[in-house]
Structure 1
Amino acid sequence: MTGLVLIGVLALAVGGCVCVVWADRGGPRWVRVVAAVTLAAGELVRGSDRRRRRRLNRNDGGGD
């Protein structure tokens, strides 16, 4: 079951990347929408990673 979920997530990620490239080359409207959603999701993930790193660095003690 977990494997199927991971395969589904991978398929969505690959499909989103394909739509980003296709939209950059002037694809149809639905491709541009999917590309925008994919890029927004990437920004959210990137932002949460930055916040997590900042929290970890603060808890590190700030020593040498």
Structure 2
Amino acid sequence: MILIVLTAVLILTAGGCACLFWAARGGPRWTHTVARATLAAGHVTTALLRPGRSGSRTGSTSDDGGSD
């Protein structure tokens, strides 16, 4: 069962990427809609997979080591 779900996700991802390329080259209107949906799904997935993004952003950019 999990193999079927993973295969479906892989097919949808490949189709979404194909629509991204096709829409970037001026494809039909429906490819632009699918491309937007693919990008939105990617942003949602990225946001869900990032750990601990609830507070202010403090991190490695302030530790450059050359300001003293």
TM-score range, shorter chain: 0.7 to 0.9
The equivalent of 1:9 in structure 2 is 9
Distance (whole Å) between structure 2 residues aligned to residue 3 and residue 44 of structure 1: 23
Larger proportion of helix: 1
**Which ranges of structure 2 fall in alignment gaps of 5 or more residues?**
54-68
* TM-score for both structures, normalised by structure 1: 0.75
What letter corresponds to residue 32 of structure 1 in structure 2? H
- 1:32 and 2:32 correspond: yes
What letter corresponds to residue 54 of structure 1 in structure 2? G
Aligned residues: 53
Alignment of 1:38-49 (within 5 A): 38-49=38-49
Q: Give the CA RMSD over aligned residues.
A: 1.2
Greater RCO (CA < 8 Å, at least 6 residues apart): 1
**Offset, 1:49:** 2.0
Bigger Rg, which one: 2
The equivalent of 2:19 in structure 1 is 19
